[in-house]
Structure 1
Amino acid sequence: MRKILLFAIFAIAVLCGCEKEIEEDNSLPQDPQITLTTNKEVGETIVLRFNRDNIPPEVIGATKIDEKNSDAYGGIFEAFVVDVTYALTSQTVVLKGDIVCLRCRDNELTSLDISGCPGLKFLQCDNNQLTTFIVSDNPELGFLSCAKNQLTQLDVSKNAELGVLFCNSNKLTSLDISKNKKLGALNCANNKLTSLDVSKNTKLYDFGCSLNKIKSAEMSKIIKALPDWTGKTIWHVGEYSLNYAKINVVSNNNNEENEISEADIKIAEAKNWKF
């Protein structure tokens, strides 16, 4: 429930800020666009979620057949986002317009090109078939969830605004988050990481890296670099607040290869991190 709340609060904050216009830049494409390719056949449908006030005015390669309020998380986003169903007329679909919020998960996507949409702030493309994914042309991206794909690399060095990153269940062997100083939530579990530097991520409060290959010595470096949240309120919104950080670095899964010592568990707990 806590994770849902965190996701909701951040998503609403992002979506509410989606009206900011991108400053004119002659080097940018005249017409912003996002291009996606799917393994689904022509005639089948895909479902995309947009900010209610930011549905693309033109879509090439698909025809809109339905639009409804999003029921995500019990309808908590209903005032902000809509789910649009499209019938494919091509396996390549081009979304025209200055899109700031896109959810395209579960659509059997094999490629996703967001380079032509630099104002994109929120992207959720989980559970597709992406093997490569470039976000370096999207400096305003604040929320990125690309979990459950087949990514072997992910470069987020140009995404200084990134506050939430979910890249779990891919094939990443390394992850550089040193430039993401606003990062608060990170889930990079179920990859092939052997180390991770979190020393620059002083705002990190929700961290998961289980099911990797991080042995005790490298895990100790991670634990010692975690920010100290002792006696601090991480966030407070209305009646809700978070007064401790959450960490999951070792699971009970039989495939778990991470290691953590009892001493490092105590170090993390002393800094107000709860396992």
Structure 2
Amino acid sequence: MRRERKKDQEWFNELHSNDKVIEVIGTRLLRMSGPLKIECFENCFANLEKIILRKLHLTNLEIINCSRLRNITLSELSSLESLSVCDCPELTELTELKFDNLIELKCSNTSIKKLSFKFCPNIMKLDCSNNDKLVNLDVSNCPKLEFLDCSHNKLTILDLSNCELLFKEYEKKSSNFNYPYGLKIIRRKNLVIVGRTASGKSTLSNVLADTQEFEGSERSYSVAKSFLKKYFEWEGKFYCVIDTTGVGCTKLSTKNVLDKILDGIYSMPGGISQVLFVIDERFTAEEAKLFNLLKDSIFEIGILEYTTIVKTKFSNFKDKNKCDADKEQLHNENEKIAEIVRSCRDVVYVNNPPINIDIIDDDDRITVENNKKIRQRSREILLSYLNVACQERYFKLKSWDELHKKIAKCTENENLSKVVESNQELETFTKISQEFCTFI
């Protein structure tokens, strides 16, 4: 019987019920739509080990009781609103879901270790209970999530930074939020580090996160293709530091610039807690130009309340009188710099001397140990400040959601240049990013 004379479900069962691997990719002639159910019964789908579904118009997908199923790959299912994956004990991998229209998902009784829904911004109901190997759950971009059952698994920590509705259910101890005993609920503070190359920006990121994972050489910035991110905890507070590409790097292609913008938006779904604008010994004209360009073209005026100038390489950073005197001098510099300083939340002073020097003798060893102590003191000063500065509110650009959709559409288009040129807002963003190589 010809496929068009049958329902999609009947056609699918007849064609694939004995397959080990099911791969269905929608085309102009193959347009599966509506609900689809893949369930093992009476030897149907009994051999199934892998499912790949792409470019289909499914609205509801159920995958049930497939005892041999190990891998599910779902992509470009733009109409999918409901997904259920249950009683598949051998299933270890469900690809990162990217469905704008997904509202409800149930995933239970599997061997999955990691689930991510950060690209499902409209999901409202999520049941991932009874997955006894689940150790990582990402709902960091689910502002509409109002029901979550993540009980009976191995989760120890859950970030609800951008889940206002669910966090309220947590505070009310509501039955709409079921979780394992001892689960630590956190809300991270997002710190965005911006500045020119060689200003001490990446060193500051290393000091904040107590790591050496951020590269600091000018060469690394000249070929940088993405921002770097690190999570850390300090005195019971959880932070995410994001080190952006420094000013002065090699120009990037249009697509790379758009990818950076898109990555940046996705990396901070809950918004910004504080922007740290890094300068070194002097507030130069180049830094003033960069700051004003970001303020006038990308940042909205309200973000200045969330912006702190961090002056590095300040040897007297522990002397409050010296810090106040320098701050006063900044206020009395030329009017452009003074206006910038007054518009920001504050100026913080630190000193982060190098610790990766070659040790030849005891003098070098003592120098490194002293520099470590200086950096630790700088860390304490800055994090004590951020503990007060980063309150519960997050700053989110009003245009972020709309911009994300535009960029996502553009990156799927083969002729990016023409698309960008036809959109004044994106063209402005692109020119700014190409000139100054910031991802925002």
TM-score (normalised: structure 2)? 0.32
| Higher-RCO chain (CA-CA 8 Å, sequence separation at least 6) | 1
TM-score (normalised: structure 1)? 0.49
Structure (1 or 2) with the greater helix fraction: 2
Larger radius of gyration: 2
